[in-house]
Amino acid sequence: MEYIDQIGRSVKVEKPPMRIISLVPSQTELLFDLGLGDRIVGITKFCIHPKEWHQTKPRVGGTKTLDFQKISDLKPDLIIGNKEENTEEEIEQLSARFPVWMSDIVTFEDAIHMISDLGGLLDVKEKAQMLILDIRNGFDGLEPISPPVKTIYLIWNKPFMAVGSDTFIDTMMSRIGLVNPARTFESRYPSLTIEEIKLLDPDLVLLSSEPFPFNAHHAKAIQEILPSAKIELVDGEIFSWYGSRLIQAPAYLNGLKSRL
């Protein structure tokens, strides 16, 4: 069978794959929730959910530092990656030897299509469609804040890095009425000086739990920079994980809205 992945590449598999390696944490969690435990033979060291897989499944390195020998030893009949999470060079190396299906997710609908496509490719279409229905029902009840709130979302410290345009996190922000002034930068994840942060003049700053683990100490420091802004520590997995974690997102985002 031939499938077209989300970056337009042809992926050929002879039958529903039975030895799958996942190179993306959020997609690993999705594969678990689709009931594919026995078919997943490898994950990355950053695939922390579910906990039992993190503890027992073979690890094939990091998302951008793959162990090609371990991958080869596992004899995968499908590898699942992501354009942003994995490097083009490493994916090209893998694609020369194995079927590699790639996702490319910026919008909510991109995430929905990824779940649907993997459901078909992995012969779990019914489970995938049930999951999609649950996700859509949750997001259909998510109302944006009115009036919108000017918000920057920081993902890194020293230097400060924010979320810009053409990112899934920015999409999630917009779903609840958060207007992102960092979208004006060319970079999808711009580095910001303290002066640039002040010039953006946000009403709200969201400090993510990942990839940098911001805490109350960092929140206090940001508050000193922006004394009139509201500072919130947020769950980065809710904003950036585009698999089955989306089921949890509406309740969390509604809770965040109630605190603003």
Q: Which CATH architecture has domain 2-138?
A: 3-Layer(aba) Sandwich (3.40)
For residue 156, what are the β-bridge partners? 161
The confidence score (pLDDT) of residue 228 equals 97
For 29, other C-beta atoms within 10 Å of its C-beta total 22
Beta bridge mates, 62: 65
Where in the sequence of the chain do the CATH 3.40.50.1980 domains occur? 2-138, 149-259
What pLDDT sits at residue 222? 97
What local confidence, expressed as pLDDT, does residue 28 receive?
A: 98
For position 19, what pLDDT does the model report? Answer: 98
Task: List pLDDT tens digits, range 168-215.
Answer: 999 999 999 999 999 999 999 999 999 999 999 999 999 999 999 999
Q: What is the dihedral of CA 126, 127, 129, 134, to 10 degrees?
A: 140
pLDDT band at 27 (very low <50, low <70, confident <90, very high): very high
SS3 call for 3: strand
Q: Give the pLDDT mean for 15-44.
A: 97
Among 234, 104, 255, 248, smallest CA distance to 166 is for 104
Per-residue pLDDT tens digits for 55-107: 999 999 999 999 999 999 999 999 999 999 999 999 999 999 999 999 999 99
What is the Cα–Cα distance from 243 to 257, expressed in whole angstroms? 22
Residue 14 has pLDDT above 90, yes or no: no
Q: Residue 92 has which token pair? A: 């090209």
Fold of 149-259: Rossmann fold (3.40.50)
